[in-house]
């Protein structure tokens, strides 16, 4: 840490000295009146740029100094919690392979925040349901520089960690993407925040949420129980708390313990390992990161675990999408309100071979429906699976005079093969 701080300080000294030499050289050259005017403007511009850069470096140094003591405390606590895990000081080395990560490793919750002062609703629920500050430290990464939101986050004191994305500048975008500037900034923020978590703080896994998510009572229980499954099964690349088909009328609310594998990346409260970040960071996109995650090149045939009933719910109508889907869809997602003791359950049925054997048998043994029955909202006794939602009830096979297919629920859109 001291070596890194020294490098930053020397970098600042060299930066200031170099700019001073350039300014001295330009100023001492013989110039005409108009040249002097242009030179003055150039000097002012360079000075402003230097001031911005110095402020940015000062903020980074401030964060490093602020969290160096917290890092030492976390290191000691992690060693106490997981003696089998070797915890090192922050470096840029690649993370350990999943087989080297302890099932009891610390799982920080990274809250991606910007300009929503309503982040309080998110943080209050996280702190209320959190079973252990040591096992689940909360890191709020703030972009945007919004002062009111910063004050709200700061009001939680040392119960959370508050870090700030230092680069608040606009991002050059193609002309037809000017209205999507916000999506570019979100992708930049995600990359910075996850790099802090895995490169600077050296965590081995992290749960990512956004500032407009409210969590369920068993949110932490769910991730604590499913984390060993993620470590053990290389065909999994994330654990998600979200069901995209999670409207109340489409899920089996009587069975909140049901979990499924999905080929669709759900996001909205998800757990990833540090070795996945090693893979994704070098090619991280400039914008639309969640859609990018759903491309075959990133997924590489891997799946995520997701619940029948969501363990997160979004309350953020305001955002870069301007409430595009909130009023029509997102606000109707059912948030689980019953605590399920997942850590006392055997989740090995979610491993690839076990899961495919049982799940496909259920699908192909399902009763057959005509499309007209589905469209007319008939045959409700078949349960939620018949409507292509969570698959918690009895599955159904849909047919029509024109086509016949078997539809497998469990993704954002029902997949028919």
Written as one string, the DSSP assignment of 279-348 is HHGGG--SS-HHHHHTSHHHHTT-EEEEESSBSEEE----STTTTTTTTTTGGGBPBP-S---GGGS--G
Q: If you search the block for the tokens 């159904």, which residue do you land on?
A: 396
Please, which pLDDT band fits residue 57 given cuts at 50, 70 and 90?
A: low
Please, which pLDDT band fits residue 12 given cuts at 50, 70 and 90?
A: low
Residue 86's pLDDT is 30
Residue 384's pLDDT is 43
Q: Are 230 and 363 in contact (CB under 8 A)?
A: no
Collapsed DSSP state (helix, strand, coil) of residue 404:
strand
397-399 and 368-370: which strand pairing? parallel
The count of C-alpha atoms lying within 13 angstroms of the C-alpha of 285, restricted to the half-sphere facing its C-beta, is 14
The count of C-alpha atoms lying within 13 angstroms of the C-alpha of 42, restricted to the half-sphere facing its C-beta, is 13
Which among 368, 350, 367 is positioned nearest to 359, based on CA atoms?
Answer: 350
Which among 172, 189, 190 is positioned nearest to 181, based on CA atoms?
Answer: 172
Q: Degrees (nearest 5) of the Cα angle 159, 165, 171?
A: 155
Phi/psi of residue 346, nearest 5 degrees? -90, 110
**How many C-beta neighbours within 10 Å does residue 401 have?**
8
Per residue in 98-143, pLDDT tens?
A: 889 999 999 999 999 999 999 999 999 999 999 999 999 999 999 9
Mean pLDDT, residues 56-60 taken together: 58
Point out which residues pair with 259 in neighbouring strands. 307
Point out which residues pair with 261 in neighbouring strands. 305
Residues in the chain: 417
Q: Tell me how far apart the alpha carbons of residues 323 and 170 are, in angstroms, rounded to a whole number.
A: 23
pLDDT value at 411 more than 70: no
Q: Are 139 and 111 in contact (CB under 8 A)?
A: yes
- Look at 15 and 227; give whichever has higher pLDDT: 227
Residue 366's pLDDT is 83
**% of the chain residues with pLDDT over 90:** 57
Please, which pLDDT band fits residue 372 given cuts at 50, 70 and 90?
A: confident
Residue 139's pLDDT is 98
Per residue in 281-324, pLDDT tens?
A: 999 999 999 999 999 999 999 999 999 999 999 997 665 554 56
Q: Are 313 and 213 in contact (CB under 8 A)?
A: yes
Q: Are 333 and 249 in contact (CB under 8 A)?
A: no
Task: Provide the phi-psi class of 247: left if phi over 0, else alpha when psi is between -120 and 50, else beta.
Answer: beta
Collapsed DSSP state (helix, strand, coil) of residue 410:
coil
Residue 410's pLDDT is 38
Point out which residues pair with 303 in neighbouring strands. 236
Label residues 231-247 b or e (16+ Cβ within 10 Å = b): bebeebbbbbbbbbbbb
Q: Are 215 and 311 in contact (CB under 8 A)?
A: yes
Mean pLDDT, residues 382-409 taken together: 38
Mean pLDDT, residues 189-203 taken together: 98
Q: Tell me how far apart the alpha carbons of residues 88 and 198 are, in angstroms, rounded to a whole number.
A: 12
- Look at 88 and 309; give whichever has higher pLDDT: 309
pLDDT value at 389 more than 50: no
Q: Tell me how far apart the alpha carbons of residues 191 and 282 are, in angstroms, rounded to a whole number.
A: 10
Compute the mean pLDDT over every residue in the chain, rounded to the nearest whole number: 80
Q: Looking at 290, 291, 337, 346, which residue is catalytic?
A: 290
Per residue in 376-385, pLDDT tens?
A: 665 455 544 4
Residue 97's pLDDT is 82
Residue 369's pLDDT is 78
Radius of gyration of the chain (CA): 25
pLDDT value at 70 more than 80: no
Q: Tell me how far apart the alpha carbons of residues 160 and 262 are, in angstroms, rounded to a whole number.
A: 32
Mean pLDDT, residues 348-369 taken together: 90
Mean pLDDT, residues 44-65 taken together: 60
pLDDT value at 248 more than 50: yes
Mean pLDDT, residues 337-344 taken together: 98
Active site residue 35: no
Tokens of 215: 């969590």
pLDDT value at 90 more than 60: no
Per residue in 144-191, pLDDT tens?
A: 999 999 999 999 999 999 999 999 999 999 999 999 999 999 999 999
- Neighbouring residues of 332: CB distance < 8 A, sequence distance ≥ 6: 247, 248
């Amino acid at each position: 840490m001291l070596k890194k701080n020294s490098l930053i300080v020397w970098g600042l000294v060299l930066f200031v000295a170099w700019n001073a030499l350039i300014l001295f050289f330009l100023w001492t050259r013989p110039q005409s009146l108009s040249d002097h005017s242009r030179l003055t403007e150039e000097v002012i511009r360079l000075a402003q740029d230097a001031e911005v850069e110095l402020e940015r470096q000062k903020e980074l140094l401030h964060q490093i100094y602020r969290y160096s003591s917290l890092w030492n405390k976390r290191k000691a606590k992690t060693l106490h919690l997981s003696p089998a895990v070797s915890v090192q000081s922050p470096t840029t080395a690649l993370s350990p392979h999943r087989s080297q990560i302890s099932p009891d490793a610390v799982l920080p919750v990274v809250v991606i925040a910007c300009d929503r002062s309503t982040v309080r609703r998110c943080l209050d629920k996280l702190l209320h349901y959190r079973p252990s500050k040591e096992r689940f430290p909360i890191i709020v990464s703030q972009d945007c520089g919004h002062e009111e939101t910063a004050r709200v986050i700061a009001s939680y004191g040392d119960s959370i960690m508050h870090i700030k994305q230092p680069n608040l500048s606009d991002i050059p975008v193609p002309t037809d993407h000017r209205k999507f500037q916000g999506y570019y900034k979100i992708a930049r923020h995600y990359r910075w925040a996850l790099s802090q978590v895995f490169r600077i703080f050296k965590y081995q896994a992290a749960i990512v949420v956004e500032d407009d998510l409210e969590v369920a009572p068993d949110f932490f229980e769910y991730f604590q129980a499913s984390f060993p499954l993620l470590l053990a099964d290389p065909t999994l690349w994330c654990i998600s708390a979200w069901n995209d088909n999670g409207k109340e009328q489409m899920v089996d609310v009587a069975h909140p313990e049901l979990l499924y594998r999905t080929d669709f990346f759900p996001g909205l409260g998800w757990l990833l390992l540090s070795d996945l970040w090693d893979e994704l960071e070098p090619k991280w996109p400039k914008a639309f990161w969640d859609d990018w995650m759903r491309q075959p090149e990133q997924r590489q045939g891997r799946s995520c675990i997701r619940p029948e009933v969501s363990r997160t719910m979004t309350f953020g109508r305001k955002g870069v999408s301007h409430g595009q889907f909130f009023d029509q869809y997102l606000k109707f997602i059912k948030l689980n309100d019953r605590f399920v003791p997942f850590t006392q359950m055997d989740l090995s049925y979610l491993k690839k071979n076990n899961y495919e054997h049982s799940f496909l048998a259920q699908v192909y043994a399902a009763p057959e429906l005509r499309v007209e029955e589905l469209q007319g909202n008939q045959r409700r006794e078949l349960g939620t699976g018949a409507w292509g939602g969570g698959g918690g009830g009895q599955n159904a096979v849909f047919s029509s005079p024109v086509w016949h297919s078997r539809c497998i629920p469990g993704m954002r859109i029902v997949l028919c093969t």
